[in-house]
A and B are shown apart, each in its own frame.
Chain A
Amino acid sequence: MSVIRLLLREIQHRQLSFVLGVVTIVAAVALFVAILTMCDASQRETIRLMRNLGFNVLILPKGTNMADFWSEDFAEQEMPEEYVYRLAESDTISIRHLVARLQKKIRWRDRHVLLTGILPEVHMEQLPSKAPMGVAIPRGSVYVGFELAQSLSIGVGDTIELGDKPFVVGKCLGEKGSKDDIRIYGHLHDVQEVLNRPGRINEIEALSCQCEGKRLPQIRADIARALPGTQVTEYKSIAVARAEQRRMVESYAAFIIPVVVLVSAIWIGLLTLGNVRQRRVEIGILRAMGVGSGRIAALFLGKAVLIGVLGAALGFVLGTALAIRFGPQVFPLTANKITPMFNLLSWTVIGAPLLCALASYLPTLVAVSQDPAAVLREE
């Protein structure tokens, strides 16, 4: 008779307790592996998104008072529309999306309205074309902001007049809760005609500025070289939001994994304690026969280690399968990079049995320190 044989026989006899232990570790390890595999994918995805996002910069006429700009949402100064085409032809800067705009505040139907003319996106010639990020408003058509449409009872298909020119309402926009609700959007050239500002714009939005290794001062210098008479500012909010989102995912994983580990450890400890209680007489009789504390401890710690090894192996397979099955839906851009992280297998195969052994340590101490005579006398 060996400790291993006794251990295996006991497992065979009390299968439920063993299965519960293994299931606990399988669940914990699967969650651990799935989260880490997905976190890895999440990081790659965020990096990709950040890379695609690049810098989002706003090019404004030189001399724009930024305080006024941020309060009014448009620049008083103007610059030639030709700038946007010049930028598109630039070979020093790569910008995925260039959107030229002319915006002015006007009085229309006894209220202040932000009239915004948008030129359909201009793509840089040397870059592959990508789906447009902005809107492309057809000529002769306008989109009306929520507040205006509501208060003036304007509906899709209505004809409205702007500077004596008729326009068909192509869309009534949803509520944004910002100045967009009092905007009327039109094609840049239509708005230029309405405002009598032909060939003029007052901002260029450059999205996804691909400036490898370059920071904002360098981009400013490049743009200033291409477009003298402009100034550049960066939209930071989107990039910051991405970084915060990534940090949030990481901190979520950093919170959830220790909780899962702790709960599993407590559960394994309780299962072992239950097992010790169940086997009091058996321990007593083994002690009566002269079986030492080391072998008694080996019976419980060995079982815990076995639960850990089996749970880790099965949990790794399950966690990896879950990540591979569902990961691509969550992270479509880097789906093909979601692959088994085999380095986690060695961590879990070492970590899970260690965790189980530690969790079973106190119950094992209870087992070896119980007075066999007291148990046998009671019986």
Chain B
Amino acid sequence: MRRRDTKFKGEVLSAPGGETLQRCYQCGSCTGGCPTAALTNFRVRTIIHKTLLGLRDAVLSGKDVWLCTVCYTCQERCPTGVDVTELMIALRNLASKADYAPTPFKSVLKSLFETGHEFPFTGFTRKLRTELGLEEKPPLAINIPEALEEVRKLMKMAGASRLLEATAVKK
């Protein structure tokens, strides 16, 4: 579990958002301003340290990387210019590739693939829209099959549909 993976750092550096990893000198400004850190054991600085050490499984398999609210406070405060929040997102992408993504997140992806939207329109929505004088079915991907097909194609080309399969297999 604690074995060092010498390739891990390189993987992070080449992932979109991970490019600035090596600028970190472990000052802890990120953790100091973090809204989650104030209330939990979530520690951004520690996650970065483990990443620099190549502790792949410790970083990717846990709940921690998913506890970032993506508020960007740390990124604004970092004195050496680590794109800290983007780095958390890069780590989450690697965790997701290793099939560690949390179920509530995967169901959002499923909804996007099935409807083109993350919050699907319900009967209640349509009724409320009509009451408000809005189009019951606005011209969005959810109501235009060709548009939805485009979104699905993009997800397949990017490889996101693999996540759907992984989800299906797990269930």
Q: Do A and B come from one complex?
A: no
B residues neighboring A (CB under 8 Å)? none
A residues neighboring B (CB under 8 Å)? none
